[in-house]
Amino acid sequence: MTYTTTQTPDSINTNRKSRTHYFIDIENFNGGPVHTIDESNRCYDELSSMLGFDKTAQITIAADITTITNLHQSWNPFRILQGWGENGADLALIEAMSNVILAEGDDVVEVSGDGIFTDQIDALVARGFQVHVFSELTALNNRLKLAATTWTTFEYDSNNAKDSYAFA
């Protein structure tokens, strides 16, 4: 894997006694629904490698109801939310972000480039939290990018293999 960073996630400090809360729009990361358990495993492996989390992390992940069962093997014991209809998973993730109890010094990582998250990210930053957005390069909404404290983008390699990314 090769990495080129747009903006480094310096705000994510794993050396102190704070928590990092990850909110993952899995379909945005995957480029569509997670159709199989193997695809779910690949998403977990890639995100945990890129973002450095493990099974002890505070992770909330959302997906459409039609593909939610594929996440349970890879993403257990994390909080898995299901959404129905257009933007259902996004709305479930926004609700979870608005209800999370954050302590001083906690960080938030949002894995999605969807502009629907902009208001929630604005609210978290206004409360003093460091919010890092992690998104595929072409999927990162400009308003969301401006709302975040920091961001990192990645892109698929030139042969469009989903298991090969480069940070852009």
Per residue in 133-161, pLDDT (tens digit) is: 999 999 999 999 999 999 999 987 655 45
The residues spanned by each domain of the chain are 25-139+147-154
- Other beta carbons within 10 angstroms of residue 116's beta carbon come to 15
Which pLDDT belongs to residue 18?
74
3 state DSSP class of 10: coil
pLDDT of res. 82: 93
Sites in the chain below the pLDDT cut of 70: 1-17, 157-168
Phi, psi dihedral angles at 20 (to 5 degrees)? -110, 125
- pLDDT tens digit string along 27-44? 999 989 999 999 999 999
The structure's pTM equals 0.84
Contacts of 44 (CB under 8 A, 6+ apart): 74, 75
pLDDT at 159: 56
For residue 119, give both structure tokens.
Answer: 């208001």
Instruction: List the strands of the sheet with 165-167, edge to edge.
Output: 79-83, 58-64, 20-25, 107-111, 130-136, 150-156, 165-167
